[in-house]
Amino acid sequence: MNKEFIVDSHCHLDFDTLFLDLNNVLKEAKKKGVKKMLTICTNYNQLKRVEKICADNKEVVYAAGIHPNEPEEALDFDQVKFSDICKNKNLVGVGETGLDFHYSESTEKHQIFSLIKHIEVAKEHNLPVIIHSRDADAKIKEILTNEYKKGAFNCVMHCFSSSSYLADAMIELGFYLSMSGIITFKKSNELRDIFSRVPLNKIIIETDSPYLAPVPHRGKRNEPSYVSYIAKKGAEVLKVEEEVFRRETTRNFYNLFTKVIEENEH
């Protein structure tokens, strides 16, 4: 029996470790039933590779933004130029953006300003926002709540590994939480507990490849085909059949990234 098709909602196919082996990476993904991949450009000024990948491979779409770990001159980006890029047919989301006070606390003010500008552009184009959050739960909650009050938008907390406090606040706003390979790590009991209480219709799955390879590949290069391990563990955590988990998280992906066209043919 063929397994339900599945989606990798966040990977970095333009990074050398995947890009230089792209044919094999995509072939393996197809073998594992990965129907769509959303590749993330972390600096929209470097789109050439990402655009080529999407032009050559219809199963790949992309999102773009300025990652919060980028230097302050990149965070102070041209909003009009970025808005223009968001008109591209293969661009389906804004980000990843967000706050990282673990690695980049010195650019806190620039990160906050950048995040708000990303949200404004996303609203303008009716695109979902992809949020990176590290050591910044309270500030992320404050900004996303305030911006949502100004005008609704949709959002996913990428590679969610924060507190139950932030999880609850995001679900209350109607946002999605993305489950990554961290869910398979031995020491992730608290995270598994948080996800066990998240409604299934608010979960999507991702690899964040080439990073965060799930068990049994932990410590090696991650790739989109490994999203199947995350689905297996996710089903276990939510106590549902794996086929149900795969089907529902795929549906959630299309409900969030509405610009992605779902093909009926497999």
User: Angle at the Cα of 200 (from 116 to 171), degrees rounded to 5?
Assistant: 30
- The residues that bridge with 99 in the sheet, in sequence order, are 133
**Contacts from 28-32 at CB under 8 Å and sequence distance 24+?**
28/223, 28/224, 28/225, 29/59, 29/223, 29/224, 29/225, 30/59, 31/225, 32/6, 32/225, 32/227, 32/228
pLDDT of residue 58: 95
The reported pTM is 0.96
Average pLDDT per block of 10 residues along the chain, 266 residues long: 83 97 97 96 96 96 97 96 96 97 91 98 98 96 98 98 96 98 97 98 98 96 98 98 97 97 57
pLDDT of residue 160: 97
Mind listing the domains of the chain with CATH numbers? 6-256 (3.20.20.140)
Query: Per residue in 30-89, pLDDT tens?
Result: 999 999 999 999 999 999 999 999 999 999 999 999 999 999 999 999 999 999 999 999
pLDDT of residue 4: 83
Contact 107, 75 (CB under 8 A): yes
Contact 97, 116 (CB under 8 A): no
pLDDT of residue 263: 61
Q: Can you tell me the distance from the alpha carbon of 156 to that of 90, in angstroms, rounded to the nearest whole number? A: 19
- Sheet of 176-179, strands arranged across: 6-11, 34-41, 60-64, 91-100, 129-134, 155-157, 176-179, 203-205
pLDDT of residue 254: 97
